[in-house]
Amino acid sequence: MRHHITSQTYDELYAGLLRGKGWFQSVGLPISGNRFGTILANVDLIRQHHGKPSLNDVLQDHPMHELWISLLDAGSFTIIAEQLQNLRSDELPRGRMKEAMSGPLMPHDEEQDGASIQARDALFELELGSRLQARGVSIRGFDDIKFGFDGGEINVQCKRLHSPKTLQQNLDKACSQIAKRIVGTKTRGLVAIGMDKILETDRNIWTVPNEDSLLKETKDLMRSFLHENGPRFRRIVDIRVLGILADLRFMALVKDHNDLLTRGYETALYPLASAETLQFADSDFLRRLGKKIADSAE
């Protein structure tokens, strides 16, 4: 099990975001007048006023949830900048990065069928790819996540869920896209689903006594989701789709961390290839892959 919980002072978080700002600017991306600029300004406000009476004045103009989501997204932009700066200039997904910086700050301001959802969809895809790269996976594309592993090629189709009702539609679309992109006998696919919005971990702040309690909370939530939706996953008929990569970001106040905001994520791999489906080689491959890219496997 990898450690995937981060507690930082607000000064540390702001410093990382400033480094990201410098790099984004150096590759020609806009860093003001958009969601990224708002997040940067909000984190600066928090670090200046946290623990002081003046925070009450800040909250008059900036609801608490706006500040929480800024802190959560700040971590996402920071790891994206840290990982993508390792790419050559011609490899950078500039269009997707610019898109991720736009859109409404608050997830509940998105329109389910409108262009406003594209920004957070892009952020999910870029952050997931960045986290995979941080775990030692050799990413070969970020617009559609592509990477090599153990002699095979993996295409990942990312679908951030906006409503429980759209899960099946998103699974069908992802499988169709994987089928179009698979080339050769060694290429396989994964469907990655982002669950922050439908499980409301982008709007709820847990208060827990310690880190172990937080881990249990997130794992229980993840297991419940996978157990409930397992029958839908198993209806996928394309055996080249090896599994579902379920991803969940969360925020909490942890008592034994001095009530610092604690951010984290849980990534689980739900296998579709198995001995039961007579996919012995794919099942072994998926087991090895899961140890590399997931926090837990069902």
Within 174-213, strands assigned E span 187-194, 205-208
Q: What is the pLDDT of residue 144?
A: 84
Q: What DSSP string describes 134-160?
A: HTT-EEEETTTEEEEETTEEEEEEEEE
Tell me 258's DSSP state.
T
Backbone φ and ψ of 30, nearest 5°? -70, 135
| Cβ contacts of 148-151, under 8 Å, gap ≥ 24 | 149/288, 149/289, 149/292, 150/285, 150/288, 150/289, 151/186
Q: What is the pLDDT of residue 197?
A: 92
Q: Residue 19 corresponds to which tokens in the numbers above? A: 């480094």
Q: Residue 151 corresponds to which tokens in the numbers above? A: 């002699």
Q: In the chain, what are the domain boundaries?
A: 5-297
Q: Residue 287 corresponds to which tokens in the numbers above? A: 């087991």
Average pLDDT, the chain: 91
Distance (Å, rounded) from C-alpha 20 to C-alpha 56? 29
Q: Which of 42-51, 113-122, 236-245 has the lowest mean pLDDT?
A: 113-122
pLDDT tens digits, residue range 201-210? 988 888 999 9
Give the percent of the chain with pLDDT over 90.
73
- Res. 80 pLDDT band, cuts 50 70 90: very high
Q: What is the pLDDT of residue 205?
A: 87
